[in-house]
Amino acid sequence: MVITTTIAADSDEFLYCTFASRYVRSPVPRFKMPEKSMPKEAAYQVINDELMLDGNPRLNLASFVTTWMEPECNDLILASINKNYVDMDEYPVTTELQNRCVNMIAHLFHAPVGDDETAVGVGTVGSSEAIMLAGLAFKRKWQNKRKAEGKPYDKPNIVTGANVQVCWEKFARYFEVELKEVKLKEGYYVMDPVKAVEMVDENTICVAAILGSTLTGEFEDVKLLNELLTKKNEETGWDIPIHVDAASGGFVAPFVCPDLPWDFRLPLVKSINVSGHKYGLVYPGVGWVVWRAKEDLPEELIFHINYLGSDQPTFTLNFSKGSSQIIAQYYQFIRLGFEGYKKVIENCMENTRVLKGGLEKTGRFDIVSKDVGVPLVAFSLKDSSKYSVFDMSENLRRFGWIIPAYTIPADAEQIAVLRVVVREDFSRSLAERLIWHIEQVLEEMDSLPIQMSTKAATVKKQLESTEGQKVVKKSEKEMQEEITRYWRRLVDGKRIGVC
C-alpha cells in the first residue's frame, strides 16, 4: 500500500491512501488527456498496476531481444538517459564511443580497414533502420550507375528469400523497390542461392542473405551465393553486390563459427547490419550497419548540419535518439571482450542442445532448426491430428512461457512450428523447467476426452464443403485455427493460474 501526503485540489484532505483515493476509484480516460492533474504517486500506481498484466520479459522466448544486463550497465544507462545522441557537439564523448563501436564491429566482420583507418558505419535504433539505410545506399549507387550509362533507372529490384523479416518488405514498399522472393520448400527453410542468382537481372540492386533466419535460426550459405553471383556478374557484365542481414547471427557466428566465411572476407559483401539489442547483449533499441568501404556509401545520402554546434554529418532515418544504448553497447564490448562474448554464446548454444535433447526424448517432435545457426530450437509436432502447435503455445502461457507458434512462409505453409529463442538469461535450469512444462501440457492434452479427436476430425471434414461438382478446401492453417478455437472452448474451464 502506498501512502502519500499531498494537498488535494478539490478536498480538505491532506493524508490519504492511494487505493482509497478518487484517482484509482475513477477510471482514467483511455484515449483523451485527463482534465486535471493527479499526484505522482497515484500516476505511478495506476500505470504500474496495468503493467502487471504484461508478460514476463525473461519468459518471453519469442523474442531475440536482450532482457538482462549487469547493474553497472543499468547505472550507465540511467545516467545517460537524458542525452540526445544527435547533439554530437554537446556530447563528443558519446559520439566517440559510437565511432569506437563501429570500428570494433567492422574489424569483427573482417572489413578491409587498417589499424589507423576509420571504418564506415553508423549506429541505428535497430536492424530495421540499418536495413533501410543499406538498401537506400544500394538503390542510389545502382541509380547513379544506370544514369551514367544512359539506361532506365526506375525499376530497381532486390532478391531475398521468403524467410526475410518484415523490415525487408517495408523497405521495398516504402522506397519503391520490387521485392523478388525465393520461395521455400518443406525441409529447406532458407534462401536457395542457386534460385536467388537465377532471379537476378540488370535491375537488381543487391541480393540479401540472412545470417540467422528468424524462422529457424539457420545461417544462409553466403559463400556459395558469393561464388555463384561472381560467376553471374562475369558472364553478364553486371555488378550485383550482396548485403548480409546479420541481425541475429552477427554476434553469434564470429564466436562459435570463426572459420565460416559470410562477412567482408567475401568480395561481393558490401554491407552488413547487426542488432546490438539481440546477441549484442544490449537492451532495445540499438542496431548497426557497416559498409565495406567508403565508396559503397554514396556521399549524397550523408547530410551535414551545423545548427547544433560544429559541422555534423548524419545518415539516419530519424533524427533524435537516446545515447544510453550506444553507451551500453560500448560497455559490453570492453566489459566482455571477445573472450566474454564467446563464453556467453557458447553457453547459449549448450542450453540450446539441452532443450533440443529434452524435446527429442519425448518422441513427439521433429526438430526443424539446424545445429549451425543462432541459439534457438524450432520444432513441430509429429502428430497434429488431435491438437496443434497453436494449442501448445496457448497452454504453455498458463505457466508464464511465451512461445510463438507459426507457419513457414511460401511455399511451405503446411509446416507449423514452435520456436524457443535461447538468450543469455535462459539458464539450463529454465530449459529443464520448460521441458517439464511441455511434458505436462502434452500429458494433459493427451488425456482430453475422445470427443476432442472426434471433433477435430469432424471439423476437418466440415471445412471441406462441396459446391456442385467442385470441392473447396480450406488451407491447413485455417483448419488448424478452427480446431484451435474449439480446443480453447473445451479446456477453458480447466485453466490454472500462472506459475
- CB 241, CB 99: distance < 8 Å: no
Is the pLDDT reported for residue 10 higher than 70? no
Tell me which fold the domain 350-454 belongs to: Aspartate Aminotransferase, domain 1 (3.90.1150)
Residues 6+ apart with CB under 8 A from 478: 463
What does the pLDDT read at residue 454? 43
Note the pLDDT of residue 475: 58
Is the distance from CB of 262 to CB of 223 less than 8 angstroms? Answer: yes
Among 65-79, 101-115, 304-318, which is the least confidently predicted range?
304-318
How far is the C-alpha of 46 from the C-alpha of 96, rounded, in Å?
Answer: 40
Does the pLDDT of residue 3 top 50, yes or no?
no
pLDDT at 41: 87
Q: What is the mean pLDDT of residues 370-385?
A: 95
**pTM of this prediction?**
0.86
In the chain, CATH 4.10.280.50 sits at 1-54
Mean pLDDT of 188-198: 97
Whose CA is closest to 205, among 164, 176, 228? 176
Q: Mind listing the pLDDT tens digit for each residue in 241-269?
A: 999 999 999 999 999 999 999 999 999 99
The answer to whether 299 touches 62, Cβ cutoff 8 Å, is no
List pLDDT tens digits, range 270-281: 999 999 999 999
Percent of the chain with pLDDT strictly greater than 70 = 85
CB atoms within 10 A of CB 203: 20
Q: What percent of the chain has pLDDT over 90?
A: 70
DSSP helix/strand/coil, 479? helix
Residue ranges of the chain assigned to CATH 3.90.1150.160? 350-454
- Cell numbers found for residue 194: 542457386
pLDDT of amino acid 17: 72
Bridge-based pairing state of the strands 470-473 and 416-421: unpaired
More confident residue, 471 or 420: 420
Between CA 289 and CA 130 the distance in angstroms is: 5
194-216 pLDDT tens trace: 999 999 999 999 999 999 999 99
Provide DSSP, 43-66. Answer: HHHHHHHHHTTSPPGGGBTT--S-
CATH architecture of 1-54: Irregular (4.10)
Q: Which H/E stretch holds residue 122?
A: strand 120-124
pLDDT tens per residue across span 39-64: 888 889 889 989 999 989 999 999 99
Chain mean position to CA 339: 25
Buried b (16+ CB within 10 A) or exposed e, 447-478: ebeeebeebbeeebeeeeeeeeeeeeeeebee
Classify 471 as helix, strand or coil: strand
Alpha helix ranges (H) inside 59-159? 71-79, 92-108, 127-148
Domain with CATH 3.40.640.10 in the chain: 76-335
Element (H, E) at 346: helix 324-362
Low-confidence winner among 122-131, 149-158, 270-279, 406-415 (lowest mean pLDDT): 406-415
pLDDT at 75 over 80: yes
**Buried b or exposed e, range 415-441, using 16+ CB within 10 angstroms:** bbbbbbbbbbebeeebbeebbebbeeb
Cell numbers 537465377 label which residue?
A: 198
Given a cut of 50, whether residue 1 has pLDDT beyond it is no
pLDDT band at 496 (very low <50, low <70, confident <90, very high): very low
Q: How would residue 29 be classed by pLDDT, with cut points 50, 70 and 90?
A: confident
Please state which CATH class domain 76-335 belongs to.
alpha beta
Mean pLDDT of the residues in the chain: 87
| pLDDT tens by residue, 214-228 | 999 999 999 999 999
What was the pLDDT predicted at 42? 86
Instruction: Give the chain's radius of gyration (CA, Å).
Output: 26
Closest CA to 230 of 220, 219, 241: 241
